[in-house]
Structure 1
Amino acid sequence: MGISCIPVSNVELSSEWYVNKLGAELSYKDEDKAILNFANQSIFLVKSKKNQSANFYDIYGEEHFSLTFEVDGLNALIAIHKDFIEREIKVGEIENRGHAGRNFVFYDLDGNKFDVWSELSQSFKEKFLLL
């Protein structure tokens, strides 16, 4: 299980968003941080200064996400994409990026950009005996 730290402007609102929109499980919360269990990892929401995000820019000025969630196949990706739209989560279109599988991006309340990919990694398959 990995740990990711996500900067947020309001721990209370953000933790509610992750729980209600994404189905995360809240395991701890105070004024400065919240710990959520989601997608087989712990996510720390850390109160940060305004206009902070986990996104970064490559050498060509293209904004990138810092975290990719894997799902099991294209049908699962399409279903999650549809579900996110119904939950009024800001999402991008399903894309073909020239590698195996398909992807789409989504954003949280603070504009943190995340990726969803229709391919499970070999390590995930081995860990959960999906071979």
Structure 2
Amino acid sequence: MSEKLLRVGTTYIPVTNVELSSEWYVNKLAADLSYKDEDKAILNLANQSIFLVKSNESQTSNFIDIYGEERFSLTFEVNGLDALEALHKDFIENEIRVGDIENRGHSGRNFVFYDLDGNKFDVWSELSPIFKEKYLVSK
């Protein structure tokens, strides 16, 4: 195989109400709405396309690991601990359901947050080196 996967272009997230969820992502996470109909919304967020897809209630992108813990399927990155702490504070002020900032035993710190439908996401304080190099992020 000579071709390699280069990036994740689109993530699909189940939601029960496309209108309310797209407004939440735009207002709470500063996503850019590029398309919306009754079944889906297409957002630009964190350098990728996010599709909010109308789904049945109780359907989320979360999964249960072998220890019975609910896990997220997506981690967002910010540039450093100061940025993570500022975002955490901003999310709390904007009434987004968030967990505590955690030390998980690896570099950086993390916290989780949830959207209106209970989709669980992670935020990590470390930008990947390839992203930093490609987009000339300093620090």
Counterpart CA distance in 1 for 2:118 and 2:9 is 22
- Structure 2: give runs of 5+ residues left out of the alignment: 1-7
Shift in Å at residue 126 of structure 1? Answer: 2.2
Share of identical aligned residues, percent? 79
Counterpart CA distance in 1 for 2:75 and 2:9 is 12
Runs of 4+ in structure 1 off by over 3 angstroms are none
Structure 2 partner of 1:66: 73
- Greater strand content: 1
Counterpart CA distance in 1 for 2:86 and 2:136 is 23
Which AA in structure 1 matches 2:38?
A: E
**Length, aligned pairs only:** 131
Determine which of 94, 99, 122 is the counterpart of 2:101: 94
Structure 2 partner of 1:24: 31
Determine which of 109, 112, 116 is the counterpart of 2:119: 112
RMSD (CA atoms): 1.0
- Paired residue secondary structure (1:91): coil
Larger Rg belongs to: 2
Shift in Å at residue 125 of structure 1? Answer: 1.1
Kindly provide the CA deviation profile for residues 63-103 of structure 1, in whole angstroms up to 9, marking residues without a partner as x: 11010000000000000000000000000000000000000
Structure 2 partner of 1:14: 21
Counterpart CA distance in 2 for 1:102 and 1:10 is 32
TM-score by length of 1: 0.97
- Structure 1: give runs of 5+ residues left out of the alignment: none
Structure 1 partner of 2:5: none
Structure 1 partner of 2:84: 77
